[in-house]
Amino acid sequence: MTPPFPPQFFILLGIDVFLGGSILVVLFDKEFPNGLPYILDFGALIGFVQLLIVPGYLSDFPTQIQFYYSIAFATMAVLSLVGCSLYVIVRHKTFVGGILTVSGALPSTLALLYFGSAWVNNTQVPISVIPLMPWPVIWGAFLGASALVLVAMAVMVRGDRLKGHSSPD
């Protein structure tokens, strides 16, 4: 059985995450250093360059190596969004950090896990590092994490209102 999509799909996913993260950082520009959107855009540019180079360069390598190369880039993109969310939360801006987590870090993490599991489950390449996850577990994790984040956000907003803050952060 062939993989459902080429491993370079994960480079495209990483590019999208970098660009989406750049947009989120621009929306909350007062919370971040001025150069951060440009760093995220530069990460997306590196991904575009990799897409130009990878087909000719990695075609001689096995599919497993191509997968690891591509998923490493997507993982760096997702970790950059997680880092942005943690940066804001550490600066005691929990509402903005929660928004960044719900709108960027959590969906991109779950998308990477979802597509990574889909690629591993539908290929004959043995990749022992990533465990095989059945679809109900993936959907249950997605729904459970989403519900947990929504409840946490409601508790944070309610706590801010009880303290007497009229506006979130």
pLDDT per residue as tens, the chain (169 positions)? 566 678 888 888 999 999 988 888 888 888 888 889 899 999 999 988 888 876 677 677 787 888 888 899 999 999 999 999 999 988 888 888 888 888 888 889 888 888 888 787 775 445 566 666 676 777 677 778 777 777 776 776 666 555 655 555 4
Q: Is the pTM of the predicted complex or chain greater than 0.85?
A: no
φ, ψ at 125 (rounded to 5°): -70, 125
Q: 80-106 burial string, b = 16+ CB within 10 Å, else e? A: bbbebbebbbeeebbbbbbbbbbbbbb
Domain ranges of the chain: 9-163
Q: Cα(112)–Cα(14) distance, rounded to whole angstroms?
A: 9
